[in-house]
Amino acid sequence: MITALVVGGGSIGKRHLKNLLASGRSAAVVEPREDRRAEIASRFPAARSFASLEEALAAGGYEAGFICVPTAYHVPPALALARAGAHIFMEKPVSHSLDGIPELLEALASRGLVGVTGFCMRFFQPLRKARALLEAGAVGRIVTARSFTGVYLPDWHPYEDYRSFYMAKKEQGGGVLLDECHAFDWMQWLCGPIEGLCSVVATLSDLEVTTDDVCETIVRFQGGALGSIHLDMVDRSARSEVEIIGTASTLLVDLEGHTVRLYDHAARKWETWSFEPAYDRMYVDELEH
């Protein structure tokens, strides 16, 4: 039995395929595009490629399925693999709608299978450091928190026309709110569960997209703190930052700069921790987890 079947040979699918093979696991991939299958065969000769999920399932069994296709197409392959007895790792978000979700949950539960949504940023070293500081009480009681993420869409995949990228297409489940839901996850991971929120989304830029490209959200955390989450795919400066203000101190995380800063009120200065960029490491740590 092959360890994993990666469904989707785009950028994230190839990243998972690379890490699976590097860890000594066996893996295969489903990718309908012939050019991508040729690239995968050249880069990863140990991985068998299939043009369709049906072809892959007919060829054998898999311990796990990695769902790495555009959001709108997540559920059907996940459901087929679960019914075939495979655990499911699904790139976030689970889907753009609730269609098929009850059936997927039933297929997993009835077979004793595990389903995981891939929020890899929980394994990002600056955020892990921030969480450790918060758990140690470094800021006291959290009063307010803010997350800001803005990246210019054409810069995400500079090797392809952004208009062909699923992020630009509503029908494929694109859009900044769905795709950048990482921020909602890391804010809850750092500050506790969100008990109430209000989001406003819009398409405001000059980009040729059919999706939302700006989202503003106000949140209330279970502990009483207030917060905000900003997402856009317009900002050409490529920023991703978290600010947490507590009764004892302030914590700043620069995700693009790979730094964490904590204000020392007594000394009137900032203490800074810097990390080497290691994006593959968080995916490997996520895989091993």
pLDDT of residue 60: 85
pLDDT of residue 17: 96
Could you tell me if 108 and 146 lie in one domain?
no
Could you tell me if 192 and 247 lie in one domain?
yes
Q: In the predicted model, what is the mean pLDDT of residues 9-38?
A: 95
pLDDT at 168 over 80: yes
Could you tell me if 110 and 181 lie in one domain?
no
Residue 279 main-chain phi, psi, to 5 deg: -65, -40
Q: Look at residue 96 and tell me if it is in a domain.
A: yes
Give the C-alpha distances (Å, rounded to integers) separating 235 from 169, 232, 260. Answer: 19, 7, 22
Could you tell me if 163 and 112 lie in one domain?
no
Domain limits for position 178: 121-277
Query: Average per-residue pLDDT in the chain?
Result: 96
Could you tell me if 96 and 140 lie in one domain?
no
Give the C-alpha distances (Å, rounded to integers) separating 197 from 22, 44, 225, 228, 285. Answer: 41, 44, 12, 9, 31
Give the total number of structural domains in the chain.
2
pLDDT at 1 over 90: no
What CATH number has the domain bearing residue 147?
Answer: 3.30.360.10
Could you tell me if 66 and 149 lie in one domain?
no
A 10 A CB-CB count for 23 gives 12
Query: By three-state DSSP, how is residue 138 classified?
Result: coil
Q: In the predicted model, what is the mean pLDDT of residues 3-12?
A: 95
Could you tell me if 65 and 147 lie in one domain?
no
pLDDT of residue 289: 79
Banded pLDDT at 202 (limits 50, 70, 90) = very high
Taking only the tens place, the pLDDT of each residue in 77-107 is 999 999 999 999 999 999 999 999 999 999 9
Predicted structure pTM score: 0.92
pLDDT at 190 over 80: yes
207: left (phi over 0), alpha (psi -120 to 50) or beta: beta
pLDDT of residue 138: 98
Residue 43 main-chain phi, psi, to 5 deg: -80, -35
pLDDT of residue 245: 99
Taking only the tens place, the pLDDT of each residue in 247-279 is 999 999 999 999 999 999 989 999 999 999 887
Q: Look at residue 283 and tell me if it is in a domain.
A: no
Q: Look at residue 194 and tell me if it is in a domain.
A: yes
Print burial letters for 43-62: b (CB count within 10 Å at least 16), e (below 16): ebeebbbbeebeebbeeeeb
pLDDT of residue 279: 79
Q: Look at residue 285 and tell me if it is in a domain.
A: no
- The rounded Cα 222 to chain-centroid distance in angstroms is 23
Could you tell me if 23 and 150 lie in one domain?
no
pLDDT of residue 278: 80
pLDDT of residue 162: 94
What CATH number has the domain bearing residue 109?
Answer: 3.40.50.720
Q: Look at residue 288 and tell me if it is in a domain.
A: no
Could you tell me if 37 and 6 lie in one domain?
yes
Last residue of a domain, one of 88, 118, 148: 118
pLDDT of residue 183: 98
Q: Tell me how far apart the terminal alpha carbons of the chain are, to the nearest angstrom.
A: 21
pLDDT of residue 274: 98
Q: Is 63 buried (19+), middle (13-18) or exposed (0-12) by CB count in 10 A?
A: middle
Q: Look at residue 78 and tell me if it is in a domain.
A: yes
Banded pLDDT at 54 (limits 50, 70, 90) = very high
Q: Look at residue 36 and tell me if it is in a domain.
A: yes
Q: Is 173 buried (19+), middle (13-18) or exposed (0-12) by CB count in 10 A?
A: buried
Pairing between strand 87-91 and 226-232?
A: unpaired
pLDDT of residue 280: 81
Q: What percent of the chain has pLDDT over 70?
A: 100
pLDDT at 234 over 90: yes
Q: Look at residue 289 and tell me if it is in a domain.
A: no
Print burial letters for 253-283: b (CB count within 10 Å at least 16), e (below 16): bbbeebbbbbbeeeeeeeeeeeeeeeeeebb
Could you tell me if 171 and 43 lie in one domain?
no
- The rounded Cα 209 to chain-centroid distance in angstroms is 21
Last residue of a domain, one of 54, 87, 118: 118
Last residue of a domain, one of 118, 140, 165: 118
Q: In the predicted model, what is the mean pLDDT of residues 39-66?
A: 96
Query: By three-state DSSP, how is residue 104 classified?
Result: helix
Residues 162 and 160: their CA atoms lie apart, in Å, by 6
Could you tell me if 112 and 125 lie in one domain?
no
Could you tell me if 91 and 208 lie in one domain?
no
